[in-house]
Structure formats: C-alpha cells, structure tokens
C-alpha cells in the first residue's frame, strides 16, 4: 500500500483527454503537482492524451505500473482489476461506482471477485467507488476531485483518510481556508479489499504527519484501526474520527452510501476511546481544534483561565467551560494579589479576569498579566476574549504579547475575536483564533480532553479478540449461575429442586425468607409470566409456590428445568453486568445501574476487551450513579473494586473460546459497601451449541 502514496509509475485505465472527466483529472493533477514518476494513459482510441503517449491496453505498457487507476464502468472495471493482478500491479485504485453501495447482491459479488483475485496475486485494491488518493508531499494526486482546483494545495502536517470521497475533501477545504496545509487526502470508497484503517495505518507512518483525521461510515476491520492506534501512540500522533451513523436514520443512509453494515454506536464509542482516538460528532468538531494540535503543546490538565475586556465574555466563557467539561482554575491568593496590583480597582482579578476598559488605556496589560497567570500551578490553559477592539487599541501589542506567552510557557491558548481585523492580527502572530468565546472554549476543551484520553489509552494498539460463534442456545438459570460462579463472581446461595420435598429441604437449609423461581431454558424475563415468588417465609408457602410454578410453566408451554430456591439477598444497590461477542470488535462488556428498569432508564457504559480494572473504574465514574461509588449523604461507598474485577472476569470469559459463552447478562448484582459482600441474583447465558 505504500506504493499508493509514492508510486514509481501510474497507469490510468480509461484515460480521457478532457481534464474535467474522471479519467482525465488525475493526468492533469499529476502534471500540475510535480509528480516525478512515469504516467501511462490507456485508451485504445487515442495515440496521445493531454500531451502524453497513450497505450491501447495494460498489456501494451513498457513496464508493469505500481499503481493502476481504473476509470472504466461495470464489468470492464472488474476485468481491468484481473488484468492488473496478472501483470504484477501493486495497487489497483478503482474509481468506478455502481458496486456494493447500490447493489447488495450483484454489486457485492463483483467486489468479492475483485478481492479474491487481488489477494491471490498479492495485489491491493482501493475502492471501488473511490474518489481517489492525494499525497501533496510526493505529487501523487490520483484523484478526480474538483476541490484541489477550487482550493489550491499546500503541503502540511495534516492527513485525511475517508471512506467517503466528499468527506475526504470537505475537511481539506475547511483547513485550507484557515491556512492549514494538508499533506494527505485519501478516499477508500467501499473498502472492498483495503480498509480505511489499513490505509490510515500506512499514512500514519509518514513522519511529516502530525494530525490524522478519519471519516468512517462503517467498521468491518477493527484490527486495522487498533494497529493504527498503536502506530499513533508510538508517534504521539493524535487521531480524530468522525464516525457517522449515530442515529437509525444515519445508519440506514450509510448502508445505501457505502454498501456496508453500520456498527452499534456505543460499541464504536467504547472502541475508539479505548484506543485513544477522539470521536468528533460533526465536521465542525473534526477540524475545529486542528490548529491547537499542531502547536506542540504538552498540556498538564483541564483547568481554564479566561481573560477578556468584557464582563459578558467572561461570564459566557465560564458557562461554556462548564458545559464543555472544563473547570475554571482557582487562582492562588498570591496570583490574585499580583493581578490586582496590575489592574485598576474597578477590574476583576479573580478567574475569569475582567480587564474592562482598562485595556484601551494600557496596552501592556497582557504582557503584565499573562506571566502572572503562567506562574500559577492551577492554570492549565488560557482563553482570551476580545469582543471589541480596533482604533485606539494596540492590537499588535496584544497579539505579540499573547504569542510570546504561548511560545514561552507552552500553555495552550485560544483567542476569540469576532472583528476580522483583530482576528487577523492575532492569527498573523501565530495564534489560533475563533469567532466566539464558545467556539474557542469548546475547541480547547476537545483538545485537552483528547490529550488526557491519549494518556490513559494504555490498551491502544491491542487487537480485538474476534471469534465468530456458530448457533447458540440459552442455558437455564441454574446453569447460567454456575457459569457466573466459575468465572469468580459470587452468586446468591441457592438450590435447584425438582420435588416438593427438595423445596422443603432447601428452605430449611437456606433459612427464610427465600425466593422461589421457575427454572427454564425457554424464558428470559420470568417476572412478566408470574414465574417468580419472593419473600417466601415458611415451608408450606414454598411448597405451594413449587406447584404454582409447575402449572405456570405448563400453561405457557415452557420447558420445566426445575425450581430454584434462593436466599433473599440484601445489598445497597442493584448493578447490572453483561457481555457479548461483537462480530467486529470481539468481547464487549456492559456495566451500569441495574434492576428491572434498565431498559426504560439506561445508565451504562461499554468496554471493549481487552481492558483492566482501571478502565472499569473509569467507566463507573462516568455513570449517573457514579456518586454512589464514592458514598453520599453519610452512606458508605459501594464496592467498586468488586464490580471492576467482575467486569474483567466477564471479558476473559467471553474471550476464551473454550468457554463457549457468546453472551451473558447478570442482572441484578446486589452490591454492598466494601467488606459487606456482593452477589449475583440472576443471569442469562447463551453458549455455542
């Protein structure tokens, strides 16, 4: 695949004299952008194309090209790929559309045919339905996008890899409009053979790349994304991903666009987070913080200092910071005193720092105040709001002093300035400027949160443990509890009974009160069918429950696997643990609030295997009930360590092919405070047949 970024030779199958056609645009670009390799236009109807010698077919070329662009329609494209494979081409770039994205049967079959012949020959296929590849560092612009005419290229530190052609050039255009250079802009299309993750892994190896942006509509190969994350971690390369298809409507649109299946959204979130990849919600977020990443800062935390010559801007910056997950830095008494000595008495020396109209009469305020802020150990980043300036203000001095502060201290700085003249002055000083306080704060917040995520991504680069199970069968509850117990999770003390006398004996052994539940491999939710009797307080009631449950199972046509008599367990909170095998991401574990309302009021976090107890504890801290794990209103903290170890045990169980377990739900787990003990009360387990 590296040949696709800097090929020694390129053939264009279906070459056109017209530079505005799919087969003509790459020839124009290769000449315009200084590509140094051989270019072979192929068209049986022309001797020359755009001033270059043309050839009737691939087999007439003087050498086997490293890359062949396929700009032919339908079956002709497939035949061209087969010819490329036979003659030793390294990469076939199929621009043609009309495959799996529009026809899930015949189109996918053609993609499979191309994939099979390529893999047998050791060739790679990018596409089909690819707008093309562009490396402005080497001049290898193998693309038909008009964007590179409309927005002139400039080599730079940013790389873009996208499944969508349009979304490979939209961030390019937005970055170029801000003066940011882009080195790579690649569209992998339908990913029939080379996946977006594989291609991005190769791009990530380029030492000139300092920021990598991804656009993904579906993930079929999680291992390649994990490999990308490993390369990125080694290079300290930030990777941001815009994964569309968050909603049902978006997932349906993605299926019609790329011909691929959309992934479950919360699992995608968990996977990207595990690997230190920041997920943007939209295109504005994908590119909005880009310039901040290119400054080379090493932020130490997420505490913000806001400085402005407007009290309203100060208030809005504080609001935006709170909403974005940043905390306003609490400046030390010494810092406040030093700032107070600089500012007039009517200004505000606390954070946010309101300079008021004093900025108009004292152009040195920034040079005086910023060094004081830099010395405060609680200041991690600074946002500077200049809602109004211009005539009478020494904006050049403000910008110069702010840039000097950022360069000397390494503290991240973002500026908001709605006036074009003020914004351009700060931007010319090398600062990142936004139109509003909210945009500046939100961009800083995303950047700082991603840096923190990258620090915590200890599992980045670990490939998922993917296995594809066959047919499955559900265990009954007694069998399910046995599985749970074998993986080290305490279960409620219980007995499986088949007669009234066995029930009576269980009651005497366990003590009252007890729960009496039907045991059947045919039912998941027993309460709705009247198959659970709680708080049984004597032998006679237990015997009656046994008979009633047998009748209920028969009435509903369910297999009777006996009756479970279980001790009534107490705890401080019902927690839910679950897991399943995802066909793309492998073992996925869910931790969250439990009980019978889990579907109606979900409060859970997803973890993708492999992970450790530290990751589980971090996930528990993100729940709405997180405070319960610390203790509230005089109550002791819940035993989070037990929940963490149980979640890790579930991941190991699902990752072990010998276990045969495909999915497992434990709800509820009665969790107490540390030392009080916790037990699983019920479980549903599916295993391979």
Looking up residue 624, the CATH number of its domain turns out to be 3.30.470.20
Q: Does 104 share its domain with 174?
A: no
The SS3 assignment for 667 reads strand
Residue at a domain's end among 234, 265, 290: 290
pLDDT at 527: 86
Q: Does 320 share its domain with 433?
A: yes
Read off the pLDDT of residues 334-375 as tens digits, 9 standing for 90 and up. Answer: 999 999 898 887 777 889 998 877 777 777 888 889 999 999
Is 253 a member of any domain?
A: yes
Nearest to 666, CA basis, from 482, 521, 502, 403 = 482
Name the region of 677 (left: φ>0; alpha: ψ -120 to 50; beta: rest): left
The SS3 assignment for 361 reads helix
CA–CA distance, 95 with 127 (Å, rounded to integer): 7
Q: What is the CATH number of the domain that holds 83?
A: 3.40.50.720
pLDDT at 633: 85
Q: How many domains does the chain have?
A: 5
Q: Does 389 share its domain with 437?
A: yes
pLDDT at 253: 52
Residue at a domain's end among 456, 482, 513: 456
Q: Could you list the residue range(s) of the whole structural domain that residue 111 is in?
A: 1-129
CA–CA distance, 633 with 354 (Å, rounded to integer): 37
Q: Average pLDDT for consecutive 10-residue bins of the chain (689 residues)?
A: 96 97 97 96 96 97 98 93 97 91 84 96 96 97 97 96 96 96 97 96 97 94 95 96 75 50 80 96 95 94 93 92 94 93 82 82 83 93 92 89 92 96 95 95 96 90 87 95 90 96 96 96 90 95 97 95 94 92 94 85 92 95 94 90 94 93 93 88 93
Q: Please work out, in degrees rounded to the nearest 5, the angle formed at the alpha carbon of residue 544 by the alpha carbons of 541 and 545.
A: 85
CA–CA distance, 543 with 465 (Å, rounded to integer): 47
Q: Does 446 share its domain with 514?
A: no
CA–CA distance, 564 with 493 (Å, rounded to integer): 10
Q: Please work out, in degrees rounded to the nearest 5, the angle formed at the alpha carbon of residue 664 by the alpha carbons of 688 and 617.
A: 140
Q: Does 556 share its domain with 640?
A: no
Is 481 a member of any domain?
A: no
Question: HSE (CB half, 13 Å, CA atoms) of 504?
Answer: 8
Q: Does 218 share its domain with 278?
A: yes
The residue whose two tokens read 């036979």 is 86
Q: What is the CATH number of the domain that holds 177?
A: 3.40.50.261
Q: What is the CATH number of the domain that holds 515?
A: 3.30.1490.20
- Edge-to-edge strand ranges of the sheet holding 124-126: 38-42, 9-13, 67-70, 91-94, 124-126
Q: Does 182 share its domain with 51?
A: no
Q: Does 366 share its domain with 242?
A: no
| DSSP 8-class letter at 142 | E
Instruction: Note whether 139 and 35 are within 8 A (CB).
Output: yes
Question: HSE (CB half, 13 Å, CA atoms) of 435?
Answer: 3
Q: Does 119 share its domain with 266?
A: no
CA–CA distance, 204 with 198 (Å, rounded to integer): 10
Tokens linked to 111: 């993609």
Q: Is the peptide bond preceding residue 668 cis, with omega within 30 degrees of 0?
A: yes
Is 596 a member of any domain?
A: yes
Is 137 a member of any domain?
A: no
């Amino acid at each position: 695949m590296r040949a696709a970024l800097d090929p020694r030779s390129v053939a264009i199958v279906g070459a056109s004299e017209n530079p505005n056609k799919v087969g003509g645009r790459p020839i124009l670009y290769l000449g315009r952008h200084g590509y140094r390799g051989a270019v072979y236009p192929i068209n049986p109807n022309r001797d020359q194309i755009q001033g270059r010698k043309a050839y009737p077919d691939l087999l007439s070329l003087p050498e086997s090209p490293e890359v062949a662009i396929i700009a032919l329609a339908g079956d002709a494209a497939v035949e061209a790929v087969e010819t490329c494979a036979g003659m030793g081409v390294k990469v076939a770039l199929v621009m043609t559309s009309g495959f799996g994205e529009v026809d899930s049967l015949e189109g996918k079959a053609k993609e499979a045919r191309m994939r099979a012949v390529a893999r047998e020959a050791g060739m790679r296929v990018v596409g089909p339905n690819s707008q093309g590849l562009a490396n402005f560092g080497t001049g290898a612009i193998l693309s038909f996008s008009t964007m590179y005419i409309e927005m002139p290229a400039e080599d730079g530190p940013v790389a873009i890899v996208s499944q969508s052609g349009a979304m490979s050039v939209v961030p390019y255009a937005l970055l170029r409009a801000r003066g940011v250079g882009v080195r790579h802009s690649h569209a992998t299309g339908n990913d029939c053979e080379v996946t977006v993750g594989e291609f991005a892994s190769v791009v990530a190896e380029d030492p000139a790349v300092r920021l990598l942006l991804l656009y993904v509509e579906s993930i079929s190969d999680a291992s390649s994304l994990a490999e990308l994350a490993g390369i990125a971690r080694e290079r300290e390369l930030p990777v941001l991903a815009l994964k569309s298809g968050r909603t049902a409507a978006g997932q349906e649109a993605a299926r019609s666009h790329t011909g691929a299946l959309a992934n479950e959204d919360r699992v995608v979130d968990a996977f990207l987070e595990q690997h230190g990849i920041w997920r943007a919600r939209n295109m504005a977020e994908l590119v909005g913080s880009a310039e901040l990443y290119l400054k080379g800062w090493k932020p130490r935390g997420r505490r913000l200092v806001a400085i402005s010559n407007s009290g309203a801007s100060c208030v809005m910056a504080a609001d935006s910071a709170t909403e974005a997950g940043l905390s306003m830095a609490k400046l030390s008494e010494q810092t406040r005193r030093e700032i107070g000595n600089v500012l007039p008495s009517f200004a505000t020396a606390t954070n946010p720092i309101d300079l008021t109209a004093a900025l108009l009469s004292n152009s040195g305020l920034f040079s005086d105040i910023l060094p004081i802020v830099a010395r405060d150990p609680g200041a991690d980043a600074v946002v500077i709001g200049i809602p109004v300036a211009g005539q009478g203000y020494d904006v050049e001095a403000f910008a110069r002093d702010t840039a000097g502060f950022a360069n000397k201290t390494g503290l991240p700085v973002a500026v908001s300035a709605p006036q074009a003249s003020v914004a351009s002055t700060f931007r010319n000083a090398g600062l990142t400027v936004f139109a509003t306080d909210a945009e500046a704060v939100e961009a800083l917040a995303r950047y700082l949160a991603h840096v923190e995520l990258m620090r915590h991504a200890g599992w980045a680069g670990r490939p998922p443990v993917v296995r594809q199970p066959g047919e499955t069968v559900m265990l009954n509850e007694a069998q399910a509890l046995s599985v749970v117990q074998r993986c080290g999770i305490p279960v409620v003390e219980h007995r499986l009974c088949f007669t009234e006398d066995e029930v009576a004996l269980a009651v005497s052994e366990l003590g009252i009160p007890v729960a009496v539940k039907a045991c059947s491999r045919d039912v998941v939710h027993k309460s709705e069918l009247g198959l659970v009797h709680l708080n049984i307080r004597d032998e006679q009631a237990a015997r009656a429950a046994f008979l009633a449950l047998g009748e209920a199972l028969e009435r509903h046509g369910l297999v009777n696997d006996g009756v479970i008599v279980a001790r009534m367990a107490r705890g401080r909170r019902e927690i839910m643990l679950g897991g399943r095998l995802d066909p793309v991401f492998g073992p996925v574990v869910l931790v969250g609030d439990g009980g019978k309302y889990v579907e109606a009021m979900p409060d859970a976090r997803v973890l993708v295997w492999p992970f450790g107890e530290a990751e589980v504890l971090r996930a528990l801290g993100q729940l709405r009930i997180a405070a319960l794990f610390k203790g509230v209103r005089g109550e002791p903290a819940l035993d989070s360590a037990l929940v963490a170890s149980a979640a890790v045990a579930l991941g190991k169980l699902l990752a072990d092919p010998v276990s045969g377990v495909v999915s497992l739900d434990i709800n509820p787990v009665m969790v107490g405070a540390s030392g009080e003990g916790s037990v699983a009360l019920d479980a549903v387990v599916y295993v391979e047949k």
